[in-house]
Amino acid sequence: TRYETETGLRLRDLSTGEDRWLKYPIQRDDQESRATRDVLPSYAFTPDSKELVVFFGGKINRLQVATGESRVVPFLAHVSLDLGQHLKFESKVDQGPVKARLTQEPAISPDGKRLAFSALTHLYVMNIPGGTPARISQTDTREYEPAWSPDGDYLAYVSWSPSGGRVWKWSTSGRFQPQMVTQTPGYYQNPVWTPDGSKIVALRTSISNRQEALGGFGDQAGMDVVWIPKEGGEPRLIVPSRGAGKPHFTTENDRVYVYGRQGLQSFRFDGTDRRTHLKVVGKSQGPGEEPPPATDVRMSPNGHQALALVVNQLYLIDVPSAGGEAPTVNIATPSVPIKRLTDIGADSFNWADGGKTITWSLGSSFFRQPLSTVVFDTPAESSNTEGAQAAPPPKAPAEKKYEEFAVDIEAPRATPQGSIVLQGARIITMVGDEVIPDGEVVITDNRIVSVGKRGTAKAPAGAKVIDVKGATVMPGIVDVHAHWTEIRRNVLDLDSWPFLANLAFGVTTGRDPQTSRPDTFAYQDLIDMGELPGPRAFSTGPGIFSDTDFQSLDEARNVVSRYKKYYRTNTVKSYVVGNRKQREWMVMACLENGIMPTTEGALDLKLDLTHAIDGFSGNEHALPIVPLYKDVVETYAKSGIFYTPTLLVAYGGPWAENYFYETTEVHDDPKMRRFMPHNVLDAKSLRRPWFRKEEHVFPKLAASAAKVVHDGGKVCIGGHGQIQGIQCHWEMWALQSGGLSNHEVLRAATRDGAEAIGYLQDLGTLESGKLADLLVLNKDPLQDIRNTTSLRYVMKNGVLYEADTLNEVWPHEKPLPEMWWWKDKPQTSRPQ
């Protein structure tokens, strides 16, 4: 029973109903979490009912029922625990040209000879096989989602900029510049031609609906399905989309097909005669759980088959003849013929050649397979619920019947030229406990040349020298558990405030450990090109969940190769992938591929212990039981696993972020207002739940993390995307509350974070030869950890910015371009 903030035991006399305190306090219960190990440890009465044998204080105790007095039961276990190989692979940060990791929405021409796609925000066309990609124009317009006209003479596509987007068409002869099809700006996506080529159908909403959306996932508010004459004109409403998207056609000119929460549906151009044709779901993950719906479904041009993307794998489904209620096809126990086409996975897909060819993409590779080569599996005899839970998904054919084309797009990597010297500061190098009281850092291009006492190194000729006497220099912050959930998906947005906010607050490197969609890789490439300021935006890509449902080590190998070969990432997120055997397959596949698997803690201490024992590289989120004792602490420390407790979303009590909303000013902070749209800032900060200080659990979780560090383990910081920018500082402050020294907290936020994501060779410390990511602070964080926000300058990859503005100081002096939200306020708003 809780009393105030502590947990105790009460004793009830079953004959009289008397109820009294027996022992208070004991240890914190788990009633505010998942209680996977029960709310408290189990207990038992002795045979004479005079004592209670119960665990608390890290010991087994005998508790007298009459008096409440307790004595420790002597107990010592000698444990020999075999630990799997800790998966840690060191890498260098990519240098040289940026090679696009993602080709978005590739589309093959009607004659099958050319491929159009968007990469790095521009549209390309190439001959296949063996062609060289070429841009359709040399303008600065950001171009997305190409769609071929039925005759192959035109490509329709959409654009996006802070002033809005439009639908365009381009003559594939190359003799003319692209033409606007829509004059009125808005946010458009998913353009497609009618079968006769007379109209273009697309989704549309307002500019503000897109810009002010609180999240980047899902469809934007107020989307409509519209059509535009091919000659150009104003969009004309067909129907509100109500969450459905990806319009497409069969052979009928006047019937539009879309896919959404209600399944695969169609309607006429006047919005009437709405029909539901098909629903597709994956395997249910347990009794009572709804099977996951397909990500996307598209009808074939002849209306006889459909393609469905389920858990990142592509399936071909034989569509039953119309009549009666639309069927729901479960790919685990199908009642109609189906065929799984992929074993590694797919990002997007489509029909081509009038339905004779199936196409899909993965990373920057394109695949096509003739429909005639597909042999359907025999339908399952039963599609009952029990079977849906028990049966594994069908396998892809062992013989590869598809063609694969690698698409190579390269762009120059942004690298500053010249030398700069920062002189006179206290330098916290994060090399051991080294602190240089009056030092200097010499940087040439994007790398550190030397770090030492002032005057010990000769400044390169022509170097810019900046006096930072009295300041403190430290490595840039590494956010091991970043989530940039507010970035815009599919049609990318280079006014991406999550990246700006993090860089302005000193986060020079982030790793998003579950992006849900692969387009974060495109943002990573764009930042590396210098197309927008931001941290080094590493990520795992989409998480690997239990619905992947590995049935063998080979299947795990296939999925992991998606990330290593096609996404070219060095870490993956093993997000509760299944039982112990399936998790071990995951580790083995990652070991073979040289890729580091971090995990989801899932509020389950037993699961988290297996993560350390089995060799996973990291555990994301807090170990939910507090306090921790030597058995768990030593296991985590000795295993080498990187532990990121994400205290802002603390397990087992109020989230730590609420404490900082209560005790710091967020809404009226000028820096927050500069780097976060006002509607987002309002939503996050105006109305927050309030908790008494002693109700917060994060200091207890932080104390357990401190035990791991003091036993030789590695703890990192992760802001979890709670409030972009300031979140990592809150996480550091919360971590320090558990007993870590300020230097230990800074090490967790820099050196250990770089090691956790595999880039310690280039990042995390201030040493000669490393990449120049560093912070200049006005106040010393070793004296007060809250001085981490006293930022004067941020340097990322050798480029120096004013921290309050992100105006570039070196190698060029130029202001940050104006952001749309700076001028999006009423004239009567209060002064800022």
Same-domain check for residues 584 and 662: no
pLDDT mean over 140-168? 97
What single DSSP character describes residue 563? I
How much is the pLDDT for 768? 98
How much is the pLDDT for 285? 80
Q: Which residues of 448-463 are buried (b: 16+ CB within 10 A; e: fewer)?
A: bbbbeebeebebeeeb
Q: Which of 381-390, 454-463, 660-669 tops mean pLDDT?
A: 660-669
How much is the pLDDT for 287? 80
Amino acid type, 300: S
How much is the pLDDT for 382? 39
> What whole-number distance in Å separates Cα of residue 230 and Cα of residue 180?
10
Instruction: Specify whether the CB–CB gap between 177 and 137 falls below 8 A.
Output: yes
- Region for 470 from its dihedrals, namely left if φ exceeds 0, alpha if ψ lies in -120 to 50, beta otherwise: left
Q: How far apart are the first and last CA of the chain?
A: 48
pLDDT in tens, 236-294: 999 999 999 999 999 999 999 999 999 999 999 999 999 999 999 999 887 888 899 99
Instruction: Report which secondary-structure segment, H or E, holds 310.
Output: strand 305-310
pLDDT mean over 536-545? 97
Omega within 30 of 0 (cis) for the link into 129: yes
> What whole-number distance in Å separates Cα of residue 447 and Cα of residue 262?
53
**Percentage with pLDDT > 70 across the chain:** 97
Same-domain check for residues 623 and 479: yes
Chain-centre distance of CA 743, in angstroms? 29
Same-domain check for residues 562 and 682: no
What single DSSP character describes residue 37? T
How much is the pLDDT for 323? 67
How much is the pLDDT for 220? 63
The answer for residues whose C-beta is within 8 angstroms of residue 630's C-beta and 6 or more apart is: 58
Half-sphere exposure of 308 (CA within 13 A, CB side): 28
Instruction: Please state the pTM of the whole predicted model.
Output: 0.95
| Average pLDDT of the chain to the nearest whole number | 95
**640 located within any domain:** yes
Strand order in the sheet with 122-127: 104-108, 114-119, 122-127, 134-135
Number of residues written out for the chain: 832
Candidates 335, 2, 355; CA nearest to 150 is 355
DSSP characters over 618-643: EEES--SSSS--HHHHHHHHHH--EE
The token pair at 236 is 């004309």
**492 located within any domain:** yes
How much is the pLDDT for 392? 66
Amino acid type, 544: I
> What whole-number distance in Å separates Cα of residue 528 and Cα of residue 547?
33
- Last residue in a domain, options 57, 72, 87: 72
pLDDT in tens, 16-31: 999 999 999 999 999 9
The token pair at 634 is 């030593």
pLDDT in tens, 557-605: 999 999 999 999 999 999 999 999 999 999 999 999 999 999 999 999 9
**287 located within any domain:** no
Whether pLDDT at 792 is above 80:
yes
> What whole-number distance in Å separates Cα of residue 645 and Cα of residue 701?
8
Same-domain check for residues 457 and 467: yes
Lowest average pLDDT, out of 313-327, 552-566, 715-729, goes to 313-327
Give φ, ψ of 435 to 5 degrees.
-135, 125
What single DSSP character describes residue 373? G
- Last residue in a domain, options 45, 72, 99: 72
Q: E strands, 172-304, where?
A: 179-180, 187-193, 199-205, 224-229, 236-240, 245-248, 255-260, 263-268, 275-281, 296-299
pLDDT in tens, 685-726: 999 999 999 999 999 999 999 999 999 999 999 999 999 999
Same-domain check for residues 534 and 567: no
How much is the pLDDT for 673? 97
Same-domain check for residues 581 and 611: no
Question: What is the band of 217 on the pLDDT scale with cuts at 50, 70, 90?
Answer: low
The token pair at 547 is 């619905």
Amino acid type, 22: L
How much is the pLDDT for 284? 86
**245 located within any domain:** no
Instruction: Specify whether the CB–CB gap between 428 and 472 falls below 8 A.
Output: yes
Instruction: Report which secondary-structure segment, H or E, holds 11.
Output: strand 9-12
How much is the pLDDT for 830? 58
**371 located within any domain:** no
The token pair at 259 is 């896919």
How much is the pLDDT for 322? 65
Instruction: Specify whether the CB–CB gap between 149 and 111 falls below 8 A.
Output: no
pLDDT mean over 169-190? 94
Same-domain check for residues 467 and 444: yes
Give the Å distances, CA to CA, from 398 to 342, 370, 589.
10, 16, 19
What single DSSP character describes residue 814? B
**509 located within any domain:** yes
> What whole-number distance in Å separates Cα of residue 516 and Cα of residue 528?
21
Instruction: Specify whether the CB–CB gap between 308 and 314 falls below 8 A.
Output: yes
Q: E strands, 97-223, where?
A: 98-99, 104-108, 114-119, 122-127, 134-135, 143-148, 154-159, 167-171, 179-180, 187-193, 199-205
- Last residue in a domain, options 40, 56, 72: 72
Same-domain check for residues 526 and 547: no
> What whole-number distance in Å separates Cα of residue 751 and Cα of residue 442?
20
Candidates 490, 584, 671, 663; CA nearest to 102 is 490
**DSSP H helical ranges for 111-219:** 207-211
Q: What is the CA radius of gyration of the chain?
A: 29
> What whole-number distance in Å separates Cα of residue 789 and Cα of residue 563?
35
Instruction: Specify whether the CB–CB gap between 178 and 159 falls below 8 A.
Output: no
**148 located within any domain:** no
How much is the pLDDT for 385? 42
Same-domain check for residues 528 and 555: no
Q: Which residues pair with 226 in a beta bridge?
A: 202, 237
The structural domain count of the chain equals: 3
Given the structure tokens 């000028």, which residue do they identify?
670
> Range of 40's domain?
2-72
Instruction: Specify whether the CB–CB gap between 430 and 751 falls below 8 A.
Output: yes
Strand order in the sheet with 507-512: 477-479, 507-512, 536-539
Instruction: Specify whether the CB–CB gap between 84 and 587 falls below 8 A.
Output: yes
Same-domain check for residues 617 and 538: yes
How much is the pLDDT for 384? 43
How much is the pLDDT for 373? 96
The answer for residues whose C-beta is within 8 angstroms of residue 346's C-beta and 6 or more apart is: 309, 312, 313, 314, 360, 361, 362, 367
Instruction: Specify whether the CB–CB gap between 134 and 109 falls below 8 A.
Output: no
Give φ, ψ of 573 to 5 degrees.
-110, 110
Sign of CA dihedral 562, 563, 565, 567: positive
Whether pLDDT at 80 is above 70:
yes
**464 located within any domain:** yes
Going by their DSSP bridges, the two strands 596-600 and 571-575 should be labelled as parallel
Q: Which CATH number belongs to the domain containing residue 779 in this structure? A: 3.20.20
Whether pLDDT at 219 is above 90:
no
With 0-12 / 13-18 / 19 or more C-beta atoms within 10 angstroms meaning exposed / middle / buried, residue 697 is buried
Same-domain check for residues 689 and 769: yes
Whether pLDDT at 637 is above 90:
yes
> What whole-number distance in Å separates Cα of residue 194 and Cα of residue 156?
12
Give the Å distances, CA to CA, from 345 to 306, 365, 767.
17, 11, 41
With 0-12 / 13-18 / 19 or more C-beta atoms within 10 angstroms meaning exposed / middle / buried, residue 140 is exposed
Same-domain check for residues 571 and 686: no
